[in-house]
Structure 1
């Protein structure tokens, strides 16, 4: 199961514009990505509302995941791993403030 950890670096966390940029990038992968942090259940990273209400603040470590069973037909684990790496880089490259 492809998993990547990342630290949210946007000064306002995953709210407003940083959340929209992240959700758009997730949607473009075409994969069912989830995001979670310690103490909360995973949420659908393709949903702006779920991402914004999950309270992913600046500095928190998150886990991005795609379960193999949820991979769309014709998509590989290698593709999912690559997509998660790109999403993790995006989270870690947003301005810290």
Structure 2
């Protein structure tokens, strides 16, 4: 399992949340994101929107699978 904690640079609106989910969906790994006490499947648009990621919050990305390191790096880049 690979994980990385990042500080969110800009709040995610619906379009940016969709881009985040599209990026996560490219990977075979299971990917989760946690903000505060909520943890969701990064490939779920409803879960991603429900996290309500805001500028300045800390998010932790967890990935488990064959392409986990690349998945974490690409998703971190979307949030930073």
Asked whether the two chains share a fold, i.e. TM above 0.5, the reply is yes
**Where has structure 1 moved over 6 Å in runs of 4 or more?**
none
C-alpha displacement at 1:81, in angstroms?
1.4
Gaps of 5+ in 1: 93-97
Report the TM-score, using the length of structure 1 for normalisation: 0.73
Q: Is the 8 A contact 1:43 1:50 kept in 2?
A: yes
Specify which structure has the higher proportion of strand.
Answer: 2
How many residue pairs are counted as aligned between the two chains?
A: 80
Residue 7 of structure 2: aligned partner: 7
Report the TM-score, using the length of structure 2 for normalisation: 0.87
Bigger-Rg structure (1/2): 1
After superposition, where does 1:1-97 map in structure 2 within 5 Å? 1-10=1-10, 13-40=11-38, 42-67=39-64, 71=65, 75=66, 79-92=67-80
Three-state SS of the structure 1 residue aligned to 2:26 is: helix
RMSD over aligned Cα, in angstroms?
A: 1.4
Gaps of 5+ in 2: none
